[in-house]
Structure 1
Amino acid sequence: MKRHAAREKAFQILFQLDMNEFDPAKTTEEYVDSEDTDEFLRMLVQGVRDHKAEIDSTISGHMEKWSLARIATVERTILRIATYEITYLDDIPVNVSINEAVELANTYGDHKSGKFVNGVLSRITRK
């Protein structure tokens, strides 16, 4: 599975987990066949779940005039994945993580989602 497809699957899984509390490993297995389960996909889902409090704190600290609770689940989930990648995965260039997040936001969000996600992630990477 290519990383873009893994990110998209991770988004779908984490979106569901955010809407309803499920076991991440079980939910991951329900979305992909066991022989096709990608290690990057597992790492994204488990990493976001394991570091959710730190990730949410990072996102909240870089938003202007918004709270995490006010953000739609689509944007919140995408921001969590990208922030996890930026913060915890050194082998992925920051611009790749941002571009992938913006692409997901443009696909699954509304017409302003991509710009919003890009703006928040740009502030996070400026540190």
Structure 2
Amino acid sequence: MEERRQARERAVQALYQIDINKNVSYQNMTESLQEDLNGYSKKLINGVMSHLSEIDQEISDKLEHWSFNRIATVEKTVLRIAVYEMLYEDSVPKEVSVNEAVELAKRFNEEKSGKFINGVLSKFM
């Protein structure tokens, strides 16, 4: 369990960097972080990047009174990982994806980020 949590944290860090550094490809980013990424981190990063437009659309469809472009990069990154798991990783229960996403949001941002993440992801249940 702890290994997956660390994998998610590494994936958040890598995907965040990819999102803010538009001129860096995710292949270059994952190569530079190679020693810090385990198999599940790589799976999350590659999965999110492979399905980015579908994931972003799914998130946009669930937002109420909010636009996707207004979501802060940390929250957007956490949501992308959770939605990827919920849609494409049958081995991860949706409740686990939601709980892990809330914890990641609180770890990398603040308490209210966790509440926002929980509110959006609850619509995928």
What's the TM-score, normalizing by structure 2? Answer: 0.93
Compute the displacement of 1:25 (Å): 2.4
Aligned-residue Cα RMSD (Å) equals 1.3
Residues paired across the two proteins, number? 123
Instruction: Supply the distance in 2 between the matched residues of 1:106 and 1:114 (Cα, whole angstroms).
Output: 5
SS at match of 2:124: helix
Contact 2:7 2:37 in 1 (8 A): no
Identity of aligned residues (%): 49
Q: How far is the alpha carbon of 1:109 from its aligned partner?
A: 1.5
**Deviation readout 1:17-52 (Å, 9 max, x if unpaired):** 01012221221232241xx64211111001101101
Paired with 1:28 and 1:10, the residues of 2 have a C-alpha distance of: 9
Q: How far is 1:11 from its partner?
A: 0.2
Q: Distance in 1 between matches of 2:89 and 2:100?
A: 14
Say if 1:7 and 1:41, in contact at 8 Å, map to a contact too: yes
Distance 1:23 1:87 in 2: 24
Say yes or no: does 1:31 pair with 2:72.
no
When you count helix as a share of all residues, which structure comes out higher? 2
* Structure 1 outlier segments of 4+, above 2 Å: none
- Which residue number corresponds to residue 16 of structure 1? 17
Q: 2:110 corresponds to which residue?
A: 110
Closer/same/farther in 2, CA of residues 112 and 38 from structure 1, 3 Å limit:
same
What's the TM-score once normalised by structure 1's chain length? 0.91
Partner of 1:81: 81
In the aligned structure 2, how far is the partner of 1:31 from the partner of 1:106? 23
Q: Which runs of 5+ in 1 are unaligned?
A: none
Q: Distance in 2 between matches of 1:68 and 1:83?
A: 14
Question: Distance between the aligned counterparts of 2:120 and 2:11, measured in 1?
Answer: 20
Amino acid in structure 2 at the alignment position of 1:17: I
Q: Which runs of 5+ in 2 are unaligned?
A: none
Instruction: Give the AA of the match of 1:46.
Output: N
